[in-house]
Structure 1
Amino acid sequence: MAALGLRRTDRDKPVLSIDDPGLHVVVWSYDDTEAASAALARATAWKPDEPAVLRHHLALPSDVVDTARALLTSDEWTLRPGGRGDDLCVPGSTPLVALRVQRLDALHCSQETSRMAGLAQRHGGETFGWDALQPAAE
């Protein structure tokens, strides 16, 4: 629950799943120079009071994917093949997406972006931005 950033009173509500088929992208930042606050400010479909699935798109050399997965799993991230790196990564790299359910705010988006960039840099990879998904409005 810590990654979700939920208060004790929120625990009775259903928890969002990274595999929810009703999710759609509500905010994105694929430009390294764009501040998370600017991305969130322009996001008209984003519901700030509800959890979202934050996705970071990256590519890593194939031989370090398991190491990266172990590092991220300890903080409730799921690392899967795919993401924007499918078309953008250099040959020999594995395109990946790191996913986690959490509340979105500019500070935490920025911190996680920095963390993913550091992870990629330390392991010879690259990042391609982030996006967040929430259920469609009812």
Structure 2
Amino acid sequence: MAGGNNNQTGRDVALKPETFEKFIELQTREQGLRQQELTIRAKELEHQAKHAGEMLAAQERDLEKDRGHSRSMTKMKFIFAGAVIILVLVFTYLALKMNKDAFVMEALKLAFAFFAGGAGGYGAAKVSAPKPKSESSDS
């Protein structure tokens, strides 16, 4: 405030027109560079979006193949189980037709024991198996 100077820096600076022209030229170049950077960044984002889309499409194809394979395997398991049941029924029918009732009864006892043991073992394994932790409970 001393000396009656209204300039905030406390000094008088006389700017020449060449200084203004250089300043404007530098600002123009800087704006051009920023525009180039923005264009490059936009292209990068476009390429990243395209790549992400391709990755999702590949993942979708893989999952569809997995589901198709799983469906096919389940179908084959049911066909196999049906064939085994039909063979057992045919065998039982033929044994009964040949008056082998005792043989059929013993075969049914063994089959029942086999399936009861399998079901019991499966149940025991399910009860004693450790339960997986959910990710939401860790938070």
- TM bucket by the smaller chain? under 0.3
Query: TM-score, normalised to structure 2's length?
Result: 0.19
More strand by share: 1
More contact order relative to length (CA 8 Å, sep ≥ 6): 1
Q: Which has the larger radius of gyration?
A: 2
Q: What's the TM-score once normalised by structure 1's chain length? A: 0.19
